[in-house]
Amino acid sequence: MTHPSMQPLYDAYEPIASLLSILEVLHWDQEVMMPNGAASQRAEQLAALQATIQEKMNHPSLEEKLVLAESSEAELSHIEKADLRELRRSLERSKKLPPSLVKELAKQEVLAVHEWADARKKEDFSLFSPSLERFIDLKQQYADALRSEKMSRYDALLQDYEPGESEDSISALFGPLQQHVVELLQKIQAAPLKTSTKLLQGTFPAKEQERFLRSILPSFGFSFEEGRLDTSTHPFCAGSGADVRITTRYDEGEISDALFGVIHETGHALYEQGIQRDRIFSPAGTSASLGLHESQSRLWENMVGRSLPFWKHFYPKLQESFPSFQEIPLQGFWHAVNHVEPSFIRTQADEVTYNLHIIMRFDLERALIAGDLKVKDLPQAWNERFQQDFGLLPPNDRLGVLQDIHWASGLFGYFPTYALGNLYAAQWFERIEKELPQIHELIEKGELLPLREWLKSNIHCHGRVFLARDLCQRVTEKELSVQPFVRYLFDKYAQLYQFSS
Amino acid sequence: MTHPSMQPLYDAYEPIASLLSILEVLHWDQEVMMPNGAASQRAEQLAALQATIQEKMNHPSLEEKLVLAESSEAELSHIEKADLRELRRSLERSKKLPPSLVKELAKQEVLAVHEWADARKKEDFSLFSPSLERFIDLKQQYADALRSEKMSRYDALLQDYEPGESEDSISALFGPLQQHVVELLQKIQAAPLKTSTKLLQGTFPAKEQERFLRSILPSFGFSFEEGRLDTSTHPFCAGSGADVRITTRYDEGEISDALFGVIHETGHALYEQGIQRDRIFSPAGTSASLGLHESQSRLWENMVGRSLPFWKHFYPKLQESFPSFQEIPLQGFWHAVNHVEPSFIRTQADEVTYNLHIIMRFDLERALIAGDLKVKDLPQAWNERFQQDFGLLPPNDRLGVLQDIHWASGLFGYFPTYALGNLYAAQWFERIEKELPQIHELIEKGELLPLREWLKSNIHCHGRVFLARDLCQRVTEKELSVQPFVRYLFDKYAQLYQFSS
């Protein structure tokens, strides 16, 4: 039974959430379908829709309804309370941001992405730096508008992606994570067994890759009745509820990009398809955080998709689709898809060194936002840090500081969510091994639905009713920590590279 | 120079027009891309967006700005005056319609389309009739809310599609049109030459049809930088400005459906791509009327696309793509694509008998809206009239009264725009022959861009600055009449069927 004070609030919020979900459709369309020439027309459409959403959020009648519901908070269910909390959070954010700044940021994003793309192509950071400087200035204003006294600017930016986290709370995890990863990397590099990704190269027609992926996705519980798989320059997942769309790109000379990319995006998609369906247009009917979202994609991609049991079932099917694999034993394939080696590009990194990419970006972007690092010094800072952490010097900025679109899109505070995702994923997986002790046998038989059901009923269905850390405590009965992930990595790679963990 | 009283109005209207254009993207997505399971979620999104648009239209501040601009009307340019006129028209419409009726109509459409599809499949009109009765009742209420005293209900409905027209003004055209068409049909049926569509049947792989169409569309001036071609159950054109998307369906056993369907939709697309680009989000920055829109699709489909000069250039290319045509001479192909024969289905009718389909629907729907024809008597009325006009008795309702989706979608007053399109098209074409006397030679060389430019600068660019009839007078220096179309038909079919016109 919905509390009578909540119904008017739900009625008022539902159209706002519907309009927000239209943004997702437009975003997908823009990346996958929109004609090239329509970019500025689309920008106008998006600006109009976003402004309309903000108007609706800022309309006094919404806050009146919210205040009324808050006054009977004691009588509300925990879900209704969560809806109040989330709506209050959005409202405060929306009220504090000057509309002129919102507009300026939207404009700057279009400009900066364009200049970043150009700079990246020409491998010339100086073409991007004025735009990046301006963006950091705007993001500092943005943070100042939003932050409370005890928050740093970076803390304020984090709230957009990982509500409740702070520089300190994340540093407390990333410090030990860095140490353990470096230690593991040394063990791997010293191990007697050498691996390589060479045997993942060959000839893999895009059509055949797509056919294979479409054939295995239903095993994960991905429903084509409520979703799509398409091609785009950068893979992503968009949408919610009954309309969740994932994209990939096909490299016809290399199979792992699309293979693990699609499994990754499927993890995101299952989360969105799994949020309690009749709540997706409620304030807390969304994902708990980006880190939580990423925990789903990484769990499926790495803990399931790169595991030996998974391939015991699926490798014969892959061999059927791509006969060149018939000469390669399962063990060799498993080694190849888990090959660890420091490399320049984050999105192509293995699951060990990936964390170093993130921690480095976390440190650099904090320094940029704090004003401790100037944009003009960024390429050098990047290269020095990269040399230090990876033992490699990027030969150019395309393979270095210009590789990611995030800063050009104004996404400061976003990177850490990727590594938080790893931590959450491992903590879920330890719990799953406890509650579903036969999980590895199930995966070995290709039976992935019990895992999907566990994730749905323990994590997905709640949406943002619980914040990420609270959900972690609730589900795993433990605080979030680096230990499960470190244990997972050491166990897996000790077995793979044949050293003692 | 924009008049100072207009700028605030443009600023206020632009977001509304942007949101309206998002509806187009969502509509396209729904027909072409959306997963099946997402229908009810999409319905919520559309309802939220439509309600938001109506709220914005009905917001008192918009009318305040309009009144202010109207008070300085004497100082405005003719374009600004047109914007005032169109905004006033939309606003009055929006104010007069009770929101409850708008909602009811939207709901009824979903229901009625569903029941129509079911009834059509089962060839059982009785499954659709209660829903149609209800819809006619709602449309009568709708007409009563909108009409002025001197307008009939049907007149009021017409304004949504063909502003300025009335039952009387259309009847004055359709009366002579019917006579001439019947006379022409008798001549054709009595002619010594017999034609058939048989040689358009064969094996035409969808991929090859698509490849051929993509190869010829740029000749028409259709820009894939600002448009798309995709597949859907029912062909349509959606979007505006720099984002115009057409769809088709491929029948692998018959080539003319996709061939002329795509040329038809391209005519619509060129209109949308040709409206003065910086005005597409202004009140009069839209098409002048549906009849005007249809004049563009029919001009390209029939007057160009089914002409002998056109195929002199393009037939060798078609023969290259489909070698089975190599045995068929150009003349035979031209006869086949212009074969005239009374048949049951409007969308498959030739360009002569097509008009009889429209005039019959115009008469029947007027009687339905006036209450002179009861829904229960409609199938019989349909069949009697069909027998009388076509000399054929529909063997079932699927091939008769249930064939079109229009009435199930609440589109009463829409059908006449199709035949008006024929009249306008011929009147444009006579003018073009005068201003571009070399037009047939150009077409014969495959040079279609001069025609496109003429249409763009004389018709497209104006959008709705001039109402359809006024534009016709302005461009052709004559009132709209049936004469040019009748001349065109008689000349063409006398040549084709070898009788004296």
Q: Contact B44/A19, CB-based, under 8 Å?
A: no
Q: What is the pLDDT of residue B38?
A: 95
Q: How many helices (H) and strands (E) does chain B have?
A: 20, 3
Contact list, A56 vs chain B (CB under 8 Å)? 52
**B254, β-bridge pairs:** B201
B23 to chain A: nearest residue by CA?
A22
* Average pLDDT of the residues in B74-93: 96
* Cα A108–Cα A114–Cα A120 angle in degrees, nearest 5: 125
**Residue carrying structure tokens 């969808």:** B206
Q: What is the DSSP string of B132-199?
A: HHHHHHHHHHHHHHH--TTS-HHHHHHTTTSTT--HHHHHHHHHHHHHHHHHHHHHHHHSS----SGG
**B237, β-bridge pairs:** B246
Q: Contact A37/B281, CB-based, under 8 Å?
A: no
Q: Contact A52/B47, CB-based, under 8 Å?
A: no
CA distance B286 to B275: 7
Indicate which residues of B carry an active-site annotation: 265
CB count within 10 Å of CB A463 equals 27
Best interface-test mutation with B: which of A27, A33, A54, A275 has the largest number of B CBs within 10 A?
Answer: A33
Q: What is the DSSP string of B41-83?
A: HHHHHHHHHHHHHHHHHH-HHHHHHHHHHHHTGGGS-HHHHHH
Q: What is the pLDDT of residue B500?
A: 85
Q: What is the pLDDT of residue B256?
A: 95
Is A501 a residue whose pLDDT tops 80?
no
Q: How far is B14 from chain A (nearest CA, A)?
A: 8
Amino acid identity at A368 = L
Contact list, A19 vs chain B (CB under 8 Å)? 45, 48-49, 52
Q: Contact A15/B48, CB-based, under 8 Å?
A: yes
CA distance B495 to A232: 52
Sheet holding A243-248, edge to edge: A227-231, A243-248, A237-240
Is B103 a residue whose pLDDT tops 90?
no
List the one residue out of A137, A109, A49 whose CA is nearest residue A374: A137
Phi/psi of residue B467, each to 5°?
A: -70, 160
A13 to chain B: nearest residue by CA?
B48
Contact list, A103 vs chain B (CB under 8 Å)? none
Q: Contact B48/A19, CB-based, under 8 Å?
A: yes
Q: How far is B344 from chain A (nearest CA, A)?
A: 35
Confidence grade of residue B106 (pLDDT, cut at 50, 70, 90)? confident
Q: Contact B37/A225, CB-based, under 8 Å?
A: yes
CB count within 10 Å of CB B491 equals 11
List the one residue out of B207, B217, B216 whose CA is nearest residue B244: B217
Q: How far is A329 from chain B (nearest CA, A)?
A: 38
CB-nearest to A36 from B15, B29, B225 is B225
Pairing mode, strands A237-240 and A243-248: antiparallel
Q: For residue B93, how many C-alpha atoms fall within 13 Å in the half-sphere facing its CB?
A: 16
Q: Contact B19/A227, CB-based, under 8 Å?
A: no
Contact list, B26 vs chain A (CB under 8 Å)? 22, 25
Is A472 a residue whose pLDDT tops 90?
yes
Measured torsion, CA atoms of residues A257, A259, A265, A271, in degrees rounded to the nearest 10: -150
* Cα B306–Cα B169–Cα B360 angle in degrees, nearest 5: 55
Mean pLDDT of chain A: 96
* Residues of chain A in Cβ contact (below 8 Å) with chain B: 14-16, 18-19, 21-22, 25-26, 29, 33-38, 40-42, 44-45, 47-49, 51-52, 56, 223-228, 241-243, 245, 280-281
Q: What is the pLDDT of residue B284?
A: 98
Q: What is the pLDDT of residue A288?
A: 98
Confidence grade of residue A1 (pLDDT, cut at 50, 70, 90)? confident
Q: Contact A25/B21, CB-based, under 8 Å?
A: no
CA distance B493 to A428: 76
Amino acid identity at B325 = F
Is B119 a residue whose pLDDT tops 90?
yes
Indicate which residues of A carry an active-site annotation: 265
Q: Which helix (H) or strand (E) holds A336?
A: helix A330-337
Angle between helix A7-32 and B7-32 (nearest 10): 80
CA distance A109 to A459: 33
* Cα B315–Cα B319–Cα B321 angle in degrees, nearest 5: 115
CA distance B407 to A182: 70
Are B491 and B433 spatial neighbours (Cβ–Cβ below 8 Å)? no
Q: Contact A48/B19, CB-based, under 8 Å?
A: yes
Q: What is the pLDDT of residue A69?
A: 97
Contact list, B243 vs chain A (CB under 8 Å)? 34-35, 37-38, 41-42
Give A182-236 pLDDT, tens digit per residue: 999 999 999 999 999 999 999 999 999 999 999 999 999 999 999 999 999 889 9
A243 to chain B: nearest residue by CA?
B38
* Average pLDDT of the residues in B328-356: 97
Q: Contact B19/A52, CB-based, under 8 Å?
A: yes
3-state secondary structure of B4: coil
Are A403 and A344 spatial neighbours (Cβ–Cβ below 8 Å)? yes
Give A341-365 pLDDT, tens digit per residue: 999 999 999 999 999 999 999 999 9
Q: What is the pLDDT of residue A110?
A: 83
**Residue carrying structure tokens 């000349």:** B491
Which are the contacts of A270, defined by CB distance < 8 A and separation ≥ 6?
Answer: A220, A221, A222, A296, A300, A452, A455, A456, A460
Per mean pLDDT, which range of A50-59, B292-301, B349-358 is the poorest?
A: A50-59
Are A393 and A386 spatial neighbours (Cβ–Cβ below 8 Å)? yes
Measured over the CA atoms of residue A308, residue A313, residue A316 and residue A319, the dihedral's sign is: negative
3-state secondary structure of A373: coil
**Number of residues written out for chain A:** 501
Mean pLDDT of chain B: 96
CB-nearest to A18 from B21, B44, B225 is B44
Q: What are B270's two structure tokens?
A: 């060129």
Give A391-449 pLDDT, tens digit per residue: 999 999 999 999 999 999 999 999 999 999 999 999 999 999 999 999 999 999 999 99
Sheet holding B243-248, edge to edge: B227-231, B243-248, B237-240
* Residues of chain B in Cβ contact (below 8 Å) with chain A: 14-16, 18-19, 21-22, 25-26, 29, 33-38, 40-42, 44-45, 47-49, 51-52, 56, 223-228, 241-243, 245, 280-281
Confidence grade of residue B94 (pLDDT, cut at 50, 70, 90)? confident
Give B191-217 pLDDT, tens digit per residue: 999 999 999 999 999 999 999 999 999
Contact list, B279 vs chain A (CB under 8 Å)? none
CA distance A386 to B232: 50
Q: What is the pLDDT of residue A94?
A: 86
CA distance B356 to B359: 5
Q: Contact B44/A243, CB-based, under 8 Å?
A: no
Q: Contact A41/B243, CB-based, under 8 Å?
A: yes
Q: For residue B385, how many C-alpha atoms fall within 13 Å in the half-sphere facing its CB?
A: 19
Contact list, A241 vs chain B (CB under 8 Å)? 38, 41
Pairing mode, strands B227-231 and B243-248: parallel
CB-nearest to A22 from B21, B22, B227 is B22
Are A174 and A416 spatial neighbours (Cβ–Cβ below 8 Å)? yes
Q: What is the pLDDT of residue B25?
A: 97
Give A221-278 pLDDT, tens digit per residue: 999 999 999 999 889 999 999 999 999 999 999 999 999 999 999 999 999 999 999 9
3-state secondary structure of A200: helix
Give A125-183 pLDDT, tens digit per residue: 999 999 999 999 999 999 999 999 999 999 999 999 999 999 999 999 999 999 999 99
Which are the contacts of B266, defined by CB distance < 8 A and separation ≥ 6?
Answer: B217, B220, B222, B246, B297, B300
Best interface-test mutation with B: which of A10, A13, A41 has the largest number of B CBs within 10 A?
Answer: A41
CB-nearest to B51 from A15, A22, A35 is A15
Q: Contact B223/A37, CB-based, under 8 Å?
A: yes
* Average pLDDT of the residues in B18-34: 96
Q: Contact A45/B224, CB-based, under 8 Å?
A: no
Amino acid identity at B206 = A
Confidence grade of residue A106 (pLDDT, cut at 50, 70, 90)? confident
Which are the contacts of A114, defined by CB distance < 8 A and separation ≥ 6?
Answer: none
CB count within 10 Å of CB A219 equals 15
The interface predicted TM-score (ipTM) is: 0.92
B11 to chain A: nearest residue by CA?
A48
Confidence grade of residue B107 (pLDDT, cut at 50, 70, 90)? confident
Specify the pTM. Answer: 0.93
CA distance B339 to A127: 62
Best interface-test mutation with B: which of A14, A20, A21, A22 has the largest number of B CBs within 10 A?
Answer: A22
Q: What are A387's two structure tokens?
A: 């040399």
Q: What is the pLDDT of residue B317?
A: 97
Is A99 a residue whose pLDDT tops 90?
no
Scanning B198-329, the segments in alpha helix (DSSP H) are: 206-220, 256-274, 290-298, 308-321
Rg (CA), chain A: 23
Q: What is the DSSP string of B342-358?
A: --S-GGG--TTTHHHHH
Percent of chain B with pLDDT over 70: 100
